[in-house]
Amino acid sequence: MPKELPIFTPPKPTPIFEKIGIVGLGLIGGSIALKSRELWPSSLVVAVDNKDVLETAMRMHAIDVAADDLIVLAEVDLVILAAPVKQNVALLAELDDHVRTPAVVTDVGSTKREIVDAARALPPRFTFVGGHPLAGAARGGLENARPDLFAGRPWLLTRSAETVPQQKLESFVRALGAEPKVVGVDAHDRLLAFLSHLPQLTASALMEVVGEAVGADGLSLAGRGLADTTRLAASPADIWRDIVATNADQIGAALDLLIERLQELRKDLPNGERLTEVFDAAAAWRNQISR
């Protein structure tokens, strides 16, 4: 009789954080929770949101511990603020009262200057590293969360003075499938004003103007061009009010450039020289975006 062969068990990856606290279970917070549970069965995923959301999260097996109060965060070693931007800023001030242990604190918001400023007031047992996963989906909300949301996507991080927490957070987001990339705080907010905030405002303004002008009958004739150009306009106003308010100067500068360009095209419609220049440059840039 042959000797029994040992059964191969793949080693469980060592958890990077023991207790992961996530405040706000939307598309991003929910996807972090799902992927963390998949990667590190021995880590605890602790979530704070309202009762309805927590029930959904429990049904999705996305979290281990749920509460509608920050008190559950007492012993976490990673805090992820995943609420809208201004709520994240407000939450920072409450951490000292609730999180009793040293912890890395990060966020996932679309602007960084305001929260990095506010984080300077945190007590020294916390290290704040701002974060921003550049991952999204056509629809937001926990119900659209999925563990592979971050696969291959950049995850921008600000630089803290503390090397070890910084490296731990980089390892964490890399484990989630993302590619961590450290950027300056000001550079982040300027870059995102152009890559994300300006396209969002443009898509929403365009959709509102077109809808009001042609109505439902006219829209019934819309083709893929209008559909693509206005896809972002389905985004809810509440998240965007916070983003825009905390990056108003950079978004304003970006909007000024777009308004100026549209005015130039406007003046030159019958002639089309400026149109040719802008279209040629735009086509060249567009071909550098893969999808």
CB nearer to a copy of itself: pick between 74 and 253: 253
Q: How far is the CB of 9 from a copy of itself (least distance, A)?
A: 38
DSSP 179: E
CB nearer to a copy of itself: pick between 164 and 279: 279
* Alpha-carbon distance values, 84 to 3, 199, 202, 222 (Å): 59, 19, 21, 33
Q: How far is the CB of 92 from a copy of itself (least distance, A)?
A: 20
- Number of helices (H) and strands (E) in the chain: give both, helices first: 12, 9
Q: How far is the CB of 190 from a copy of itself (least distance, A)?
A: 8
Q: How far apart are CA 16 and CA 100, in angstroms?
A: 19
Question: What 3-state class would DSSP assign to 79?
Answer: strand
CB nearer to a copy of itself: pick between 92 and 201: 201
For the purposes of burial, counting CB atoms within 10 Å of the CB of 10, is it exposed (0-12), middle (13-18) or buried (19 or more)?
Answer: exposed
Q: How far is the CB of 236 from a copy of itself (least distance, A)?
A: 7
CB nearer to a copy of itself: pick between 186 and 208: 208
Place of tokens 């991080």: 157
The amino acid sitting at 141 is: G
Q: How far is the CB of 112 from a copy of itself (least distance, A)?
A: 14
CB nearer to a copy of itself: pick between 68 and 154: 154
Q: How far is the CB of 170 from a copy of itself (least distance, A)?
A: 17
CB nearer to a copy of itself: pick between 120 and 266: 266
Place of tokens 């696969």: 151
CB nearer to a copy of itself: pick between 164 and 281: 281
Kindly report the length of the chain.
291
Buried b (16+ CB within 10 A) or exposed e, 32-70: bbbbbbebbeebbbbbbbeeebbebbeebebbbbbeeeb
Nearest CA among 172, 180, 175 for reference residue 153: 180
Q: Using the Cα atoms of residue 63, residue 66, residue 71 and residue 74 in order, give the sign of their dihedral.
A: negative
Distance of CA 196 to the CA centre of its chain: 11
CB nearer to a copy of itself: pick between 42 and 288: 288
Q: How far is the CB of 101 from a copy of itself (least distance, A)?
A: 34
Q: How far apart are CA 146 and CA 21, in angstroms?
A: 18
Q: How far is the CB of 33 from a copy of itself (least distance, A)?
A: 21
